[in-house]
Chain A
Amino acid sequence: MKEGWEAVIGMEIHAQLATATKIFCGCAVETGGEPNSNTCPVCLGLPGALPVLNENVIELGARAALALGLEVQGTSIFARKNYFYPDLPKGYQISQYDKPFSANGTLTIMTSERDASGHATEWKPMNIHIQRMHLEEDAGKNVHEGLPDVDKYSYVDLNRAGTPLGEIVTSPDFRTSWQAYDYVNHVRRALQWVGASDADMEKGNLRCEANVSVRKIGETDFNNKVELKNLNSVRFMQKAIEFEIERQIAAHEADEPVAQETRLWDEKNNQTRVMRSKEDAHDYRYFPEPDLQPLKVTPDFVENVKARMPELPDVMRDRFMETYQLSYSDASQLVGDRSFAEYYETVARISANPKLAANWILGEFTRELNSSGKTADESLTTAEDLAELVITVEAGKINNNQAKEVFAEMFATGKPAAKVIEEKGFEQISDTSAIERIVDDVIASSEANVAAYRGGNDKLFGFFVGQVMKASQGKANPKVVNDILRHRLVG
């Protein structure tokens, strides 16, 4: 960012709550079906149909709110947001307005600027104020391509209409695009972690909008803000914000006006462009939805949800650092997603070697997951099996290269470590007396070399190790071989 300027950014995230059915009717929430197949009088907005709140939305809404540090409100009120659009069958969206489901959250995220090659420079904690998360229904979709006579007609698919959403709104707390980027990633992981949302931006079940303005450092008033939409990935969002910051600074410096408007990210041309100006802004005429009762949530209910929530990722990361003496970087990577973190913890506990467990999880295990496209809970190798392998390695029964080979086989087949080791014949001989016998045989059959070694030719040590390993078919524990050889060769 140009010296002397700062950006002021607020974020709005729409997260689809992962219920099986829609928010106000019993239709399935599904993607990819025949258009308008998952619909009923309620989500089609047929005359006379009435909404009934899906109770599971309250549970998942509470999980989402708690994961983001929000307070679930005792009473919240659904309100109608009125506007006309073909994908909005009732002519209003049932949302919440002045009494949202949850409010007043403080969320601590870890954030870092990135260097030119995109690497984080320094991770630091940052507190974000989340004003609210309210509940609402999604609209349907207008379809303009792939159907007959699209030059003459537009089509409407209402399968998505009535999908439950939580809209998460922050204060304008962000000063850089990377802060916003780290925030969205934080929210995404938190929602997935507690099972509130699949939070997959590519599938559209997590959508973000950024409100961006800039001002000279030291100013306290806000300049006109621009609302950015069509941000289809976190990376596009970051780029769009960055572009917008530069565009607005340049405009201010050239004394050109920055209009209060909505702009879209144009990913082909890497720039933002105007979608609609303030003059087109709607008056949504919000008023309380008379078809629904106020939503009451008791403190007991919230406590109950809280009690059933998993440990949150940041708490888990800090605990890993503290309990297992892991670095910030390792611990952060381990809590990348919940099944992965839980997998690690099982391996760490059973193997009683959290350091070595972390190396395996972040090394071989991660590489196998990446190349197979699996998640930790889809792995054929259980955490218990991997722990056994870690124990075997630590006991020195097989060497590292063998262990990697063993693990590749375990991951591919799901066989336990012992079985693969046996099949491959990798079991190391660490039994001292057995190795002593081999060493004695080697020494006895290499009189000339023994004499040379004892005469000062240290380089011959490798020769003896090789002979012993060869005689043991590679199974002798090299460390034990070294110790015994040194001792015996002294004479």
Chain B
Amino acid sequence: MIIEEIERTLDNAERLNGQLNSFLSIERDHALSRIEQVSKQTEARPLFGTPIAIKDNICTKGMRTSCGSRILHNYKAQYDATAVKRLNDAGAIVVGKTNMDEFAMGSSNESSAFGAAKNPWDVERVPGGSSGGSAVAVASGVVRVSLGSETGGSVRQPASLCGIFGLKPTYGRISRYGLVAFASSLDNIGIFGLTSLDAARVLFVIAGRDELDSTSADVPVPDYEATINDDIKGKTIGVPRELFGEGLDDEVRNAVENSIDNFRSLGAQIVDVELPYAKYGIAVYYIIATAEASSNLARFDGVRYGFRAEGSHSLREMYMKTREEGFGPEVKRRIMLGTYVLSSGYYDAYYSKAQKVRALVKADYQKVFAKCDAILTPTSPSTAFKIGEKTEDPLAMYLNDIYTVSANLAGVPAVSVPCGLSSDGLPIGTQLIGNFWSEGTLLNLANVYENQFPLGAKPFVFAE
């Protein structure tokens, strides 16, 4: 019965949250009233009664949608994001909103204004970010699926660090309507699944053109589940060797190399490929993402909603105090960077040039995908690091995204699949990047891999 499953889910969420801090709000009342609604529906629903957790930067009507920020600490969304609406229509039940780096800016969850979520494999370690809470909600067994968001790896990296499946779709595949913008040209809603099959079912429901998002694409949505068990024999997987060099943890390298051998054993053809512009990815990303963020976050000014600082004597002072007190240090750093790169006299040197390099990164991929079905790289250069280990060094933190950002720059889909454990028992992910609209191929590769080479271990904290 769904009522038992939903109540167990809510109980688990509440019970584990003290340890993991993965939920910013657990929506018991909402979930229970939804059971009544979906029970009345007579038509078959593809996600009937499926509990799902939603990242706190995706609007859910009547629920707090804080983006992990003090400036929206009391903000309740006035409408459902298109993805949430489609989940509801499919019979899914939102059980809570998950913790995240403030405005999705971070790779560890530590920039959340409400404290970091903890990695269930080792609660002293970060779950990754920015969608850490959604990753933990799945990895800890509370829900089988959750929504996250991606701007430069914010689903794949925490999926890798938490030992679960994570998908960033093609830009335009899932409507962004109701996803609070960080960097509009890079943002995607992404999906975490305990398995790739869980994610495939959710993707099928939420993907597709939305009249409310001009950047959503009118490309048919295939039945991902129908092809997810196809034989992968003969699929060509490209490996860019230059990405396996300096900066990559040895244990991660070994596990990812091992995943290449495993794919070969499944009949995939492994070829060498080159992505010469990938090395500029981080630089380009931190110009474009911060530029767009500086504009997207301007609406949080204390005038209409959210936090407003008290005791100001002028409009200007109100703006300054509200944003000074409402935003955390990482968000301010990025707003300043973005404001700088767009300012008069610097636009051509930074923003305009970054857009040119971005086009080259995309061209790299198009060249490679002329001869490959997918590209395989590590997802993250290391396993989950200790909470507090990198907070003093923003650049070291930014380098966590080195393997993931270029898929966002190019707009192509990518997944992270668990591929092994380190010697101290932390999960490692391997990344598969596909051509535009090839989510079906990536889900197929991931599913066959998961079935043949399951991780075979559970996190230290896990809801039974």
Contact = CB atoms under 8 A, between A and B. Distances in A.
B214 A52 contact: yes
A90 interface: yes
Interface string B156-196: 00000000000000000000111111011100000000000
Contacts of A290: 183-185, 215, 292
A376 interface: no
Contact of A283 (B299, B301, B344): B344
Interface string B191-229: 000000000000000000001111100000000000000
B342 interface: yes
A50 B177 contact: yes
A48 B77 contact: yes
Given A48-B58, A84-B319, A291 B298 contact: no
Q: Interface size bucket, A side?
A: 20 to 34
A156 B315 CA distance: 13
Interface in A26-54: 41, 44-53
A338 B342 CA distance: 46
Contacts of A46: 77-79, 305
B180 A47 contact: yes
Is chain A's binding surface mostly helix, strand, loop or mixed? Answer: loop
A86 B303 contact: yes
Interface of chain B, helix or strand or loop or mixed? loop
Contacts of B212: 50, 52
A50 B344 contact: no
Contact of A48 (B181, B291, B292, B305): B181
A162 B230 CA distance: 49
Given A285-B295, A290-B184, A291-B184, A47 B65 contact: yes
A49 B77 CA distance: 11
Contacts of B299: 45, 47, 89-91
Interface string A85-125: 01001111000000000000000000000000000000000
A287 B67 contact: no
Interface residues of B, number: 44
A239 interface: no
A48 B319 contact: no
Nearest to A291: B184
A325 interface: no
A50 B176 contact: yes
A82 interface: yes
Contacts of B301: 84, 86, 91
Interface of A: 41, 44-53, 80, 82, 84, 86, 89-92, 156, 283, 285-287, 290-293
Interface of B: 57-59, 65, 67, 72, 75, 77-79, 81, 176-181, 183-185, 211-215, 291-292, 294-295, 297-299, 301, 303-305, 315, 319, 339, 342-344, 347, 351
19 contacts: A44-B304, A45-B304, A47-B59, A47-B72, A47-B77, A48-B57, A48-B179, A48-B181, A49-B178, A52-B211, A53-B214, A86-B315, A90-B299, A92-B295, A283-B344, A285-B343, A285-B347, A287-B292, A291-B215
